[in-house]
């Protein structure tokens, strides 16, 4: 695609040369422009001249086209596509500034609106997905429910009833989704509500919708934009001029939103101020992301260290058990050796006794043989005497 794809819809866009000349004519703009690196300078020029679309998730751009105080129909259309039912905005509620301070700049946009019927919707934009996504969403939903409860309780003119408590919606748009969502690379719209495992029908009123736009872009590669939901998510996630032109061709209602943004870009002081602020926030996002990633590594290392310590303790316990077993076996072996030595001593004593008895037996046998020889001689002598008498 060439730069003319967006000029087909917006013919009054300046050329890059015209834009540079306007910047050079004012010292304040030229000084601000010079503070950006070359890549940022070119990106700004590309956006304003139509060579590249807007990154709608930038806080300034998002609020310019989506602020319900200016034109509620745009936010209503978006909410209808993700909630799945008709929506009418009746009021814009103030943000909780304490929460914004706590979450630093990773939470880019946070718009809270009251819908017809009393429901509350909180629309968030996160440049980089926070850690602990589930606990954070639970806390935010509980916070919205509590704020609604307090607001209704504060109405002194009418009695309180829990029937007046309505649904609360948390819609989170991620430019770079957290790890939990990246583990489901084929799904880009997650809707949640409380469900009982028994089938009990009871609405606990809390709704959570998570939209990882980075996953949506991957899922939509080489695919046509066919539904209004796909159109909205494309509008929020794409700055490729060819893809934006395809969106404007298929869904002309988004032309007005881009006209709003190009109208803002004509006020160069305002536009360059917004762009400079976005660059600053991106730097802070990167630092915070690095801190979170480092903390994640520290936590993982801590877990691995604890596992290793448990393994070492287990191995030490087994080693001590083996040493006790060896000691017991050694004790039994020594006992057996003592028994063998004792038996050997008794055996040697018996052998000595046998040898002594054998010696006595041999002496007796010799004496017997001597007596037998003497008896034989006496018998021979007697026989000789008898022969002489005869």
* pLDDT (0 to 100) of residue 39: 92
Report the residue count for the chain. 390
Supply angle C-alpha 110, 113, 119, rounded to 5. Answer: 125
Q: What's phi and psi for 176, nearest 5 deg?
A: -125, 105
Q: Is the dihedral of CA 383, 387, 388, 390 positive or negative?
A: positive
* pLDDT (0 to 100) of residue 104: 47
For 227-245, give one letter per residue: b (16+ CB within 10 A) or e.
Answer: eebbbbbbbbbbbebebbb
* pLDDT (0 to 100) of residue 4: 52
Strand partners, 122: 112, 170
HSE, side-chain direction, 13 A CA sphere, residue 263: 8
Strand partners, 169: 121, 207
Q: Hey, what are 71's tokens?
A: 């034109």
Q: Hey, what are 60's tokens?
A: 């300034």
Pairing of strands 89-93, 120-128: unpaired
Q: Is the dihedral of CA 319, 324, 327, 333 positive or negative?
A: negative
Give the Cα separation of 302 and 307 in Å (integer).
8
Per-residue pLDDT of the chain (390 residues; tens, 9 = 90+): 344 578 889 988 999 999 999 999 999 999 999 999 999 999 999 999 999 999 998 888 898 899 999 899 999 999 999 999 999 999 998 875 445 444 444 555 789 999 998 899 999 998 877 777 888 889 889 988 998 898 888 888 889 999 999 999 999 999 999 889 999 999 999 999 999 999 999 999 999 999 999 999 999 999 999 999 999 999 999 999 999 999 999 999 999 999 999 998 888 888 888 888 877 776 555 545 555 555 566 667 778 888 888 888 889 988 999 989 999 999 999 999 898 988 888 888 888 988 888 888 888 888 888 888 888 888 888 888 888 877
Q: What's phi and psi for 199, nearest 5 deg?
A: 90, 5
Query: Which 3 state secondary structure label does DSSP give 111?
Result: strand
Hey, where are the domains in the chain? 53-266
* DSSP H helical ranges for 159-267: 179-182, 213-219, 228-237, 241-250, 255-266
* pLDDT (0 to 100) of residue 259: 94
* pLDDT (0 to 100) of residue 187: 95
Rounded to the nearest 5 percent, the helix, strand and coil shares of the chain are 65, 10, 25
Query: Which 3 state secondary structure label does DSSP give 309?
Result: helix
């Amino acid at each position: 695609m060439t730069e003319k794809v967006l000029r087909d819809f917006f013919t009054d866009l300046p050329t890059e040369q015209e834009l540079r000349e306007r910047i050079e004519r004012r010292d304040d703009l030229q000084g601000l422009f010079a503070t950006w690196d070359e890549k940022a300078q070119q990106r700004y020029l590309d956006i304003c001249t139509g060579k590249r679309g807007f990154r709608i998730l930038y806080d300034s751009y998002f609020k310019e086209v989506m602020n319900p105080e200016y034109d509620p129909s745009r936010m209503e259309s978006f909410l209808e596509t993700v909630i799945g039912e008709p929506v009418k905005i009746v009021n814009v509620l103030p943000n909780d500034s304490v929460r914004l301070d706590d979450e630093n700049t990773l939470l880019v946009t946070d718009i809270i609106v009251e819908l017809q019927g009393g429901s509350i919707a909180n629309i968030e934009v996160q440049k980089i997905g926070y850690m602990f996504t589930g606990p954070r969403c639970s806390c935010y939903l509980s916070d919205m429910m509590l704020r609604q409860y307090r607001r209704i309780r504060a109405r002194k003119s009418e009695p309180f009833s829990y029937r007046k408590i309505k649904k609360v919606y948390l819609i989170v748009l991620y430019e770079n989704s957290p790890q939990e969502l990246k583990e489901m690379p084929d799904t880009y719209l997650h809707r949640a509500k409380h469900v009982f495992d028994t089938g009990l029908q009871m609405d606990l009123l809390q709704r959570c919708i998570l939209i990882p736009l980075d996953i949506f872009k991957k899922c939509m590669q080489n695919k046509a934009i066919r539904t209004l939901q796909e159109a909205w998510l494309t509008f929020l996630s794409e700055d490729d001029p060819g893809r934006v032109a395809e969106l404007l061709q298929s869904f002309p209602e988004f032309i007005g939103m881009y006209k709003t943004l190009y109208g803002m870009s004509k006020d160069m002081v305002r536009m360059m101020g917004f762009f400079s602020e976005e660059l600053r926030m991106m730097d802070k996002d990167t630092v915070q992301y690095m801190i979170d990633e480092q903390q994640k590594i520290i936590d993982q290392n801590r877990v691995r260290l604890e596992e290793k310590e448990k393994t070492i303790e287990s191995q030490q316990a087994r080693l001590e058990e083996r040493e006790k077993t060896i000691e017991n076996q050694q004790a039994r072996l020594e006992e057996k050796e003592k028994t063998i030595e004792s038996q050997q001593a008794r055996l040697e004593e018996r052998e000595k006794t046998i040898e002594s008895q054998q010696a006595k037996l041999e002496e007796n046998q010799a004496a017997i043989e001597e007596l037998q020889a003497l008896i034989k001689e006496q018998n021979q002598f007697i026989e000789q005497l008898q022969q002489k008498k005869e």
